[in-house]
Every structure is written in C-alpha cells, then in structure tokens.
Chains A and B, each alone.
Chain A
Amino acid sequence: QVQLVESGGGVVQPGRSLRLSCAASGFTFNRYTIHWVRQASGRGLEWVAVVSPDGNHEYYTDSVKGRFTISRDSSKNTLSLQVNDLRAEDTALYYCARQGMSDDWWFDYWGQGTLVTVSS
C-alpha cells in the first residue's frame, strides 16, 4: 500500500535550519510528483513546494522562496525539504503529499506529517 513517512522535524531557534524527509513506498516513486503542504496548529492548509518526478522542476510558495529547497532521491525513494532561515510563522505540521496520476495538483495520499516548531 502507498505510504509516505515524514521525519526531521523538531524545535529550532529562529534563523536556524532543518532538513525534512519523506520516505515513500508502495508505488513507483519516480513516476509521481510529490508536494509539501503545511498546517499550523488549529489552522488551515498551506501549499509549500513541489518537485517534478525527474527532480528537474521545483516551485515554491512566495513566503518560502530563497529559504526552502525541495529535492528528491529516486535511488532511495525519498523526498527532502531543506528549510533555512526559519521564522516563527514557519511553525507547522509539514506533510508530504502525492499528486494524483494526472497533471493536476490534487493529492491522493498524504503522510502523517512532521512537526516544525520555531521558537527562541
């Protein structure tokens, strides 16, 4: 069965960095586009970033451009999100989500999320 398992979250001070990971299994990883979506506690959902199946195309929401970098390693079936210069407003549960088998950006499978808390 399709599984996405995030890791790497934690409590960090403003300005510091983390590397989030998403381990994928149960499907052909290099055929699917994978996204990061975050959710602040008690709040709604915010799309963060996406990387194409071949890893050559990346897109980001404006608030994280220049600070976050998404990448993927098909040899390890893993997606990563390098998050730098963290701010309080980046505090959230970070989900990786698989895009459905189409060109449209809806998400058919989600991981359980990894929590990032930015606090001094």
Chain B
Amino acid sequence: ERVMTQSPATLSVSPGERATLSCRASQSVSSKLAWYQQKPGQPPRLLIYAASTRATGIPARFSGSGSGTEFSLTISSLQSEDFAIYYCQQYNQGVTFGGGTKVEI
C-alpha cells in the first residue's frame, strides 16, 4: 500500500500570504495525485488532479506540482474562504489519502 504523508499537520498563515502544502508518497505514484479541500460539515471538494491540473471552477491561485514521490499544493494568496483542511490522494495503485493539512489563521 502506498502511504501518503502530508506536512505540516497545521499551517498558520495570514490572508494574502502564500501557502505551500507538501505530500510525500512512500513509493512513486507517477503523476496520479489529486488534492481536495474540506471545510467543516462539508464533503471534500476536488481542487487538482493529475498532480497539476485544476478541476473545473477552481481559482487560479491554487496550483499543484510534483511527480514520483514529492508533491506540493500552493495557494498563491490566501483568501478567507481557503481556510480548511487539504488532503492529497494517490490513485496510481488503489486509492490512499494523506492525513491532511489544516490551514488556519
């Protein structure tokens, strides 16, 4: 099983700042990686798939990069609505999710 490890667990940032979230796979997942945003009481929302492709309707301030075992999600200028938990997910072999990064003020 491919284990996905996200860091940091919590990221404290201010509105307008840049945030970079990391996701590491225990084995290569090629570019088969997705990112989701989850707010309290809501289901996850797809942000990025194929490591760097933004999903429909996702603002350009969200960008994904990486391949193999190292990936990152960057939010270029945090808006108030971006404070949430972010999960990475590999789908190269089965499906596994990372433990999440909470982005807070």
Contacts and interface: CB of A to CB of B under 8 A. Distances in A.
A42 to B, nearest CB: 10
Do most interface residues of chain B lie in helix, strand or loop, or is the interface mixed?
loop
A44 B99 contact: yes
Interface string B8-50: 0000000000000000000000001010100000111110011
A35 B50 CA distance: 18
Interface residues of A, number: 20
A110 B91 contact: no
B49 A46 contact: no
Interface of A: 35, 37, 44-47, 61, 95, 97, 100, 104-113
Interface of B: 32, 34, 36, 42-46, 49-50, 55-56, 87, 89, 91, 94-100
Given A104-B32, A104-B91, A111-B43, 9 more contacts: A44-B98, A44-B100, A47-B96, A47-B97, A104-B50, A107-B34, A107-B36, A108-B56, A110-B45
